[in-house]
Amino acid sequence: MILAFRTDADVEAAAPIVAGHLTANRLLGYPTETVYGIGSAPAIDALASLAALKGRPAGKPFLLLVSGRLMAEEWGLVFNASARGLSDTFWPGPLTLVLRGGEGRLPDALRGAEGGIAVRHTSHRGMARLIGMIGIPITSTSANRPGTAPAPGVDGLVSLFGAAVASGELLVLDGGVLGNVPPSTIVDCTTSVPLMIREGAIPRAELRRHAGRLAP
């Protein structure tokens, strides 16, 4: 199934359908402020299905999209001084923070080698609103096969994952064709000294200009 996802009315109409779909541990394709993503509810069975669809190597975690810092904290994630400063300045936006916490609330399959979980408050208005409406974070990975470019629109996504769309396993939200935007910047905030993992849409210099010593 493919649902229109361009207006506030589209988001409201999609929300109960998406909620039921994710509750059944099925998968979602959707636009973000960078590229199209595919994701799921933060549940063990759903994560296994997502990894199988993506063809992702075992042990490589997915990130979480949240509707804001409050949602992340409600799910047990911990913001140290750097994470608070960076999120205050750059969220919502293409900045992913790796955070400690979430034990007993979020699957350990989401954790990287450093023990943290990658989280972003997306600045895609529709997705941020949808996540707030359904009340759960959505896991996220770019809509591609390993080693290939992400799909810029729904046509490309369906060409990659058409069987899953046809079977009803993958529900797709059509937000139009996205621009050629770099992936999110990733900063590890699991220790007191932040560490740049990937310099993406927000350059290191911009992080430092706005967040000073709290930036990597």
Model confidence pLDDT, tens digit, residues 125-178: 999 999 999 999 999 998 988 878 887 889 989 999 999 999 999 999 999 988
pLDDT for the residue numbered 58: 67
- The mean per-residue pLDDT over the stretch 57-63 comes to 81
Sign of CA dihedral 203, 33, 182, 198: positive
Q: What is the DSSP letter of 152?
A: S
- The mean per-residue pLDDT over the stretch 49-62 comes to 85
Helix (H) or strand (E) holding 64: strand 63-66
Segment 183-202, tens digit of pLDDT? 899 999 999 899 999 999 99
pLDDT for the residue numbered 71: 96
Q: How far is C-alpha 167 from the chain's CA centre?
A: 24
pLDDT for the residue numbered 151: 79
For the chain, the distance separating the N- and C-terminal CA atoms, rounded to the nearest angstrom, is: 42
Q: Are 81 and 190 contacting, i.e. CB atoms less than 8 angstroms apart?
A: no
Q: Is the pTM of this model over 0.85?
A: yes
Which CATH class name applies to 2-214? alpha beta
Q: pLDDT band at 38, cuts 50/70/90? A: very high
Q: How many CB atoms within 10 Å of residue 179?
A: 8
Q: Are strands 2-4 and 170-174 parallel, antiparallel or unpaired?
A: parallel
Instruction: Write the DSSP assignment of 77-144 as a string of letters.
Output: EE--HHHHHHHHHH-SSSEEEEEEE-TTTS-GGGB-TTS-EEEEE---HHHHHHHHHHTS-EEEEESS
CA torsion 44-95-56-15 (nearest 10°) is 50
User: What residues does each domain of the chain span?
Assistant: 2-214
